[in-house]
Each structure stands twice: as C-alpha cells, then as structure tokens.
C-alpha cells in the first residue's frame, strides 16, 4: 500500500486548536518522495506544516498528492494576506485535476499500472486568532479514490439562546479525522463530546485526544512512531505532548483493554442478535409453510366434497 499511514485529529474551540498527529509516515520513504519532487519540505512537515503565523495544514494520503500542496502553500505563505478560504479552494482545485500525473522518472519505483487518480488524500487547514485574513476556522478538503472531492468547515461554534438563560452559550463541534486510523479515533472521541463543550480544561481535552491516538496506534498497523499534539492559540504554537507511540499505548493500557472488551462484547451481541434474527426468520418461514399447507388441505377438502356432491 503506497498511501502513507496516518492518524490526525483536529478540534477547534475558544481555547484554541488542537492537532494530534502520528509520525508513521515521517520516515525514509517520505524523505525519498521529497527528493523525487525536488521540494524544500522536511520529513517533520509531512503531516503538520506551518504555512504562516496563525495558519497550519495537516495532510494524509498519498505523498504524490499532498507534498506538492504543502510546498505550494509554503510559498504562498510568504504573502501577508493569505486567506484560509483561498487555500482550501486551491487545494480542492488541485485534487480535482484529472490530468495530474506523476513524473515517471522521479517515481520509477511505482508499478506500471499505478494510477494516482485512484489514490485518496486529504488536507485540513487550521487558522487561529481573530486577526488579519484568518479568523479561527478549520476547513477540510478530502479527495476520495473515485475522484470525488469535498470542501467543508468541519468545526464551528454556535450560540444557543434559551428562554430561561438568554445569554447561555453552547458549543456544537465535530472533529476532523484523517488517515487510515481516523475511524478508530472517531470511535473514541465521538462518545466524548461533553468533554469538548464550553470549558477551560485543555488538559482534559488532551487526555481524551491521547486516548483516541493510543487506540488508533493499537488498532491500525499504519499508525505509530512519534505522537505529537500541537496547541495553536492567538499567542502562538505549543507542543503539549510528544512521545513514542509505545509509551502512549502503555500509559493507556487499561483504557485499551476496556475498549477491546467492549469491542468483543459488541461482536458477541451482534452474533446473538443475528442468531435470534435467524430463528425469527425460520419461524416466519415455518408459519408461512403451515399456512400454505392448511390452504392446500382446505382446497383438497372442497374438491372432494364437490366430487361427492356430483356423484350424489
């Protein structure tokens, strides 16, 4: 599989933006791909890259799609008035380019029948700080294997005014998940939405995100190596966590065991449900056959009676 293994989680609220990324793809192969394309990027920027102050991009998918984008946006980042909306629009346009092909001389290790148009990729732009061209916002551009491309705001804060408390604010958020391990992270975080409601506890948010990353590392063989969590605020960038995936999984070993037990229990419940469903279908079939037999028997009785009446 030539797609870079990745798990990236992005969440955004009044406390800033949290971006968690693994480093499985930041390897020798990534460095080779950078050299093939003649880019100035480094392997540290394969997953999360700073475009300019207040604007980051996190990528997942095949390097042939994502690396040229990062390079282009780094060059555009030298422009003072770079807009996050324009970045997302340019990324979508690039992903939709049906004529885009890789240089066979630079990508000679790929098989002859390799088709980049059938490879998926995604890029999530995160801007923070209510200044300049980039207010706090997160936009994800996703390219699917069939060539379909979406661009949407995935994180937002809304106000909910009630009759009892007119000034009450409630935050509605979704999370941005990228990469082969994204579905595993989604299982953990989508049940923890209350932790990410209005509040000021960044560490509690971090704990839940790290649990999700640990579960992704545990379940997805393509997720791993170094796990890093960035906290983006109006004041700049802070690395809240940076440790090896093995250390992270050891820290949350009890949680991982609990998740596995739940998963096994879920499988057992599905099997039991399927068994009862099979019995129910069998009973329905038996009833139908009995009804058909009764109708047939009644028809035979009617036929015999008519024959007797005719003889008489």
pLDDT tens, N- to C-terminus, the chain (312 residues)? 334 556 788 887 767 788 888 876 554 455 566 666 666 655 555 688 888 877 888 888 888 888 888 888 888 877 777 888 889 999 999 999 999 988 877 777 788 888 999 999 999 998 876 555 667 788 999 999 999 999 988 765 444 444 444 444 444 456 788 888 888 888 888 777 666 665 567 888 889 899 999 999 888 888 888 888 988 887 778 888 888 888 898 898 888 888 888 877 766 666 666 666 677 677 767 877 877 887 787 777 777 777 777 766
Rounded CA gap, 142 and 122, in Å? 4
Q: Are 209 and 174 in contact (CB under 8 A)?
A: no
Q: How far apart are the first and last CA of the chain?
A: 84
Q: Which residues contact 242 (CB under 8 A, 6 or more apart)?
A: 226, 227, 228, 229
pTM of the prediction?
Answer: 0.74
The C-alpha R_g of the chain, in whole angstroms, comes to 28
> For residue 301, with 0-12 CB atoms within 10 Å meaning exposed, 13-18 middle and 19 or more buried, which class applies?
exposed
Q: In which residue are the tokens 């948010």 written? A: 205
Q: Are 184 and 216 in contact (CB under 8 A)?
A: yes
Indicate the DSSP class of residue 45: G
Query: pLDDT tens digits, residue range 182-207?
Result: 888 888 887 776 666 655 678 888 89
What is the set of domains in the chain, with CATH numbers?
8-245 (3.60.20.10)
**Alpha-carbon distance values, 234 to 11, 202, 220 (Å):** 15, 15, 34
């Amino acid at each position: 599989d030539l797609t870079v293994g990745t798990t990236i989680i992005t969440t955004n609220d009044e406390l800033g933006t949290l971006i968690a990324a693994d480093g499985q793809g930041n390897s020798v192969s990534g460095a080779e791909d950078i050299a093939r394309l003649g880019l100035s990027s480094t392997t540290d920027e394969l997953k999360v890259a700073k475009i300019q102050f207040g604007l980051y991009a996190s990528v997942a998918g095949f390097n042939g799609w994502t690396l040229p984008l990062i390079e282009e946006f780094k060059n555009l980042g030298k422009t003072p008035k770079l807009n996050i909306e324009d970045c997302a629009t340019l990324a979508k346009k690039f992903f939709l380019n049906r004529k885009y092909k890789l240089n066979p001389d630079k990508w000679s290790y790929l098989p002859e029948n390799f088709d980049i148009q059938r490879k998926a990729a995604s890029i999530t732009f995160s801007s923070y700080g209510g200044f300049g061209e980039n207010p706090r916002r997160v936009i994800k551009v996703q390219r699917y294997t069939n060539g379909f491309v979406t661009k949407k705001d995935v994180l937002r804060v809304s106000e909910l005014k009630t009759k009892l408390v007119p000034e009450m604010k409630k935050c509605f958020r979704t999370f941005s998940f990228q990469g082969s391990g994204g579905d595993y992270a989604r299982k953990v975080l989508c049940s923890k939405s209350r932790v990410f409601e209005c509040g000021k506890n960044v560490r509690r948010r971090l704990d839940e995100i790290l649990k999700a990353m640990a579960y992704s590392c545990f379940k997805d063989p393509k997720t791993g190596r170094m796990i890093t969590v960035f906290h983006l605020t109006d004041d700049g960038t802070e690395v809240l966590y940076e440790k090896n995936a093995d250390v992270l999984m050891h820290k949350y070993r009890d949680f991982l065991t609990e998740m596995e037990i739940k998963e096994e229990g879920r499988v057992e419940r599905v099997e039991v449900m399927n068994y009862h469903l099979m019995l129910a279908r069998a009973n329905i079939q038996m009833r139908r056959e009995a009804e058909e037999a009764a109708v047939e028997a009644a028809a035979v009785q009617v036929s015999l009676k008519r024959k007797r009446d005719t003889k008489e």
